[in-house]
């Protein structure tokens, strides 16, 4: 399940411009999706890290990759628990692009 979710997140990041209207097509240098089981909370954390040498930011690609990874996990587990939910999808860190650096930490 986690391997499939990781692949789905990478694929989604690469297809962001097809999914979100008016989002530019970007040449991505790398996409990494890290998934961590948080067994105490009964949750999965998804972190999608995207980089590009282009002049624009890649936050939409990273957010799309993380969200689709989690939705893939939902799809795998919905037969067990339909009350699952995806929450707190947010930008953690961004450097570059027109708006410069952002660090939520």
Q: C-alpha dihedral over 57, 61, 103, 69, to 10 degrees?
A: -170
Sign for the pseudo-dihedral over CA of 19, 14, 9, 87 = negative
Give the N- to C-terminal CA distance of the chain in Å, as an integer: 29
Residue 70's CB is within 10 A of a number of other CB atoms, namely 24
Cα–Cα distance measured from residue 82 to residue 77, given in angstroms and rounded to the nearest whole number: 8
Known catalytic residue at 103: no
Choice among 34, 40, 75, 103 that is catalytic: 75
Q: Tokens for 88?
A: 């707190």
Enzyme catalytic residues: 75
């Amino acid at each position: 399940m986690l391997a499939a979710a990781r692949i789905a997140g990478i694929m989604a990041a690469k297809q962001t411009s097809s999914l979100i209207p008016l989002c530019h097509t970007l040449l991505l240098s790398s996409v990494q999706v890290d998934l961590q089981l948080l067994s105490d909370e009964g949750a999965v954390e998804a972190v999608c890290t995207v980089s590009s040498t282009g002049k624009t930011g890649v936050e939409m690609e990273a957010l799309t990759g993380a969200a689709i990874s989690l939705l893939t996990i939902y799809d795998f587990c919905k037969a067990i628990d339909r009350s699952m939910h995806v929450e707190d999808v947010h930008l953690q860190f961004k450097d570059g692009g027109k708006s410069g650096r952002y660090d939520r930490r």
